Each structure stands twice: as C-alpha cells, then as structure tokens.
Structure 1
Amino acid sequence: MQTLTEKLILAGWGGRVISKAQLARLLDGTPQRRYNLVNRALQHGELLQLRRGLYLLAPHLQSQPPHPFVLAQALQPGSYISFETALRFHGWIPEAVPVTLSVVPGRRRLEVNLRSLGLFRFYPLALQAGHLLAAVDRHTFTGQTALVAQPLRALLDMVCLRKLEDTDLPMLTQSMRIDAELLQQTPASAWQALQQVYAHKRMNTITTSLQKMMQPVHAA
C-alpha cells in the first residue's frame, strides 16, 4: 500500500472526497513530494482523480462510499441538487433517477461521468442575484453535507430549465406522477418566496398559475 493511501486511511478519509489543499495539510514536504505521492497512488489504482485537484480513494479501500449528492457538491462547489433528483429524494416522484442533477452558478453546463461512481449533470439557470440558494436546505449523508432543493424549488427549476409555459403544467405533473396533494400542502409562504427567485417574468406567471391550479382541489 502506498504511503499516501495509508495516511488517508489513518486520517479517517477512507470515504471522503479529498482536495489538493487537504493533501497539502496532511503531507509534509515540498509540492513536488506531494505530487510524487499522489502520482504513485494513482498509478497503483489506490487513488481516483475526480477532476484536477480532487481525489477519492479507490472503492476497495473506502470505509464507506460517498453519497452521490456529496460527490456532486465536490465536483462543482456552489451547486445544489435539484430537478428530478431532488423530487425523488423528497418522495415527490416514484421513479428512480439514474443521473444526479444539479443547478450550478454561472452559465456553463457540465456533464461528468465517473464510471462506477455515477453520472452527474450540472445546469445553470437564469436567477435573480442573491437567490441561488432560496428554498435549498443542507442535508447530511454519511457524515458529509450536501445542498438539496426543497421539492417546490426543484419542480420550478425544472420548469425554468425546460422553458415550459403554464399550459404545460398539468401534463408535466401528470407525466411525472406528482401527487397533487403534495403541492396543495405546500404553504403559501413557500410559493411567495419563490416568486422572487427567477429572472424571467414568465416564471412568476407560471408559479402563480401552478398555485392556483391546486386551489380548487384543495378547497374540495
């Protein structure tokens, strides 16, 4: 077993994503020595490179595998889990989602395929400044944290990404088999807060339409 691998296991990082900065704190010596230790561990199949400066011990050496949501956060800091992935997490849709979907700051879409670890997709949205993390909560997975959109936020993120109109909403909720009662139980304050999130006025109209669409059923 390589020196770096032993140090990571002894430090309790067997199932954690490890950054270049963390390696610098863990390992003594020059940057060249750290580079050599990392390179040897990579060559021996004991360390995986997720992206430049971001690593993970190989599966057979992990104390427990990192949760896909944690991996997504590490791959794109500042992102949060949303869309169908968040809806499934909250139990709003019945089908499993094979891809981990996230909203990412900026304007660049990104797809990362980590083979045995999963497929990750990141999408930017047109949002009002300062509202990226509105209706987004912090959750803990195997001792590590990740940001996950609340279900209504995840649903509206989908509408925003797909550029849907209010006339598309009934078909969307039916095709995804979202229980109308779940939408009806969403407090008015949550709807109002999300009116401020999206940059396009179309989203304000759609949010209002979706809320009204639920009201007759709720009254019954």
Structure 2
Amino acid sequence: MSLLQSFSGQVVTHGTLQSVLTGYKAPNFKIHRWLHEGRLLSLKKGLYAVVPQQTGQFISLPLVANQLYGPSHVSLEFALFHYGLIPEAVAQVTSVTTKRGKQFDTPLGRFSYQRLPVNYYAKGIRYIRETATQAYMMASPEKALCDWLALTPNLKLYSIKGLSTLLLDDMRMDIAGLQGLDPAFIRQLAGLGFRSNRMSLLADFMESLSC
C-alpha cells in the first residue's frame, strides 16, 4: 500500500507527512518527489492536499477551505449555491472567519475569507459529513444568507420591496428555498448587534413570504 493512500483526498500538514516517512533518511526529498509526481498539491507553506490515486475519491473543497485558514467555515455565495438558493456556481470557495480577511490562490482554485465578529460568527454552523473520511463546517442556509447580506458592501436597503428586488431579481434566488428558511433564527442574529437593520429587514421579508 502506498504511504499516501490512507490520506487520499485529505489535507495533511508537513509534520504529518514527516511522521509517515520516519524510515527515510531524507523525508523532505520524498515529499518534493510526491509534489513533482503530482501526488501532492501544495496549498500553502506546510499544508498539502493528497491527490486521489485510482480510487475515484475527490478532494472536498469545503474541507480544504476549513483547514487552509481558521477558525473558519464555508458560507456566503459558495454555501448559497450548495443549498440551491442561487442558480450559478461561484468561481471561488467563500468562507467567514474571526480573523482578518484573507485570500489564497491554490492549484485547487481560489479560497477567500471575510471577517465576522466572534459572537455572530459562532451561530448557525453545520457539521457536514460527505464521506467516511471527509467532513467540514458550513453555515446553515439562513446563516449563509445573513453573512452574504451583512458583508456585501454599499447596500442601500430601506424596505422589504428593495430587499425583494435584490434577492429575487438581482440575485435570482430561489423563492421556494427562501420560504423554507427560519425567520426566528434571523431575528436572533439581528439581536447580536451586527448589521442589525439588515437582519431585521431580512426577517421581515422572510415572514412576508409566508403570508
């Protein structure tokens, strides 16, 4: 069995790779060889993705996003598309974090992170298991929408009608998906003091959809 096979489709650190190469006189040379052969992808200094070898397993982009920069969880446009709330896939994996904003360009694509206040960040996080060995954290549909609304710059929203135009016409969000969201959770977020006016307006809009 290949030394990398047990890590197929996973993200590993330089230290983890060195631990499985303790029998080698030059473990760093072996790591460079795996990179040259395309069996490893360098994500950033000291962090790698193990390319699946004839297993059909994939590399989970949300899993990579969680481990590339943290604490973080996937949210915003990537999560909205994941839940079917917006119709078009996005060109990057979008996440939120309690640290400063960051962006990474990797062989797997671009990963971006936007900062949220700690108390707001911690709400509405789901733990999603894709396979027996792949799991990651992602915002709930309500939280992903709130994060997007909170972090989109230069929005001038004064009415339910204006928000409806933004979500349904400009973003072409799925109205059936929006009707399934929980306005009570959104009101809880509004009470945290971060972009409260936008959150309250969103809760009003959600409630109007059920009337």
Whether these two folds match at TM > 0.5 is yes
C-alpha distance in 1 between matches for 2:175 and 2:39: 48
For 1:204-219, list aligned pairs within 5 A: 204-219=196-211
Q: Deviations over 1:84-130 (max 9, x none)?
A: 1111111112222232111122123213232xx232222223x2x33
Residue number in structure 1 paired with 2:139: 149
Residue number in structure 1 paired with 2:189: 194
Residue number in structure 2 paired with 1:53: 46
More helix by share: 1
* CA pair 90-44 structure 1, distance change in 2 beyond 3 A: closer
C-alpha distance in 2 between matches for 1:217 and 1:47: 48
* CA pair 192-211 structure 1, distance change in 2 beyond 3 A: closer
- Tell whether the 8 Å contact from 1:42 to 1:49 is kept in structure 2 after alignment: yes
Secondary structure in structure 1 of the residue aligned to 2:172: coil
C-alpha distance in 2 between matches for 1:102 and 1:71: 11
- Tell whether the 8 Å contact from 2:103 to 2:110 is kept in structure 1 after alignment: no
**Unaligned runs of at least 5 residues, structure 1:** none
Q: 1:197, CA displacement in angstroms?
A: 4.6
Residue number in structure 1 paired with 2:81: 88
Structure 1 letter corresponding to 2:188:
A
- Out of 98, 102, 116, the position equivalent to 2:95 is 102
* CA pair 208-57 structure 1, distance change in 2 beyond 3 A: closer
**Cα RMSD for the two superposed structures:** 2.5
Q: 1:160, CA displacement in angstroms?
A: 1.6
C-alpha distance in 2 between matches for 1:216 and 1:188: 10
- Tell whether the 8 Å contact from 2:179 to 2:206 is kept in structure 1 after alignment: yes
Identity, in percent, stands at 27
Residue number in structure 2 paired with 1:119: 110
Structure 1 letter corresponding to 2:207:
Q
Residue number in structure 1 paired with 2:171: 176
Secondary structure in structure 2 of the residue aligned to 1:134: coil
* CA pair 165-153 structure 1, distance change in 2 beyond 3 A: farther
**Unaligned runs of at least 5 residues, structure 2:** none
**How many residue pairs get matched?**
205
Secondary structure in structure 2 of the residue aligned to 1:15: coil
* CA pair 7-106 structure 1, distance change in 2 beyond 3 A: same
TM-score scaled by length of structure 1: 0.80
C-alpha distance in 2 between matches for 1:73 and 1:109: 13
C-alpha distance in 1 between matches for 2:98 and 2:150: 15
- Out of 25, 46, 55, the position equivalent to 2:19 is 25
Q: 1:44, CA displacement in angstroms?
A: 3.6
- Tell whether the 8 Å contact from 2:10 to 2:59 is kept in structure 1 after alignment: yes
The answer to whether structure 1 residue 67 and structure 2 residue 60 are counterparts is yes
TM-score scaled by length of structure 2: 0.83
C-alpha distance in 1 between matches for 2:124 and 2:98: 16
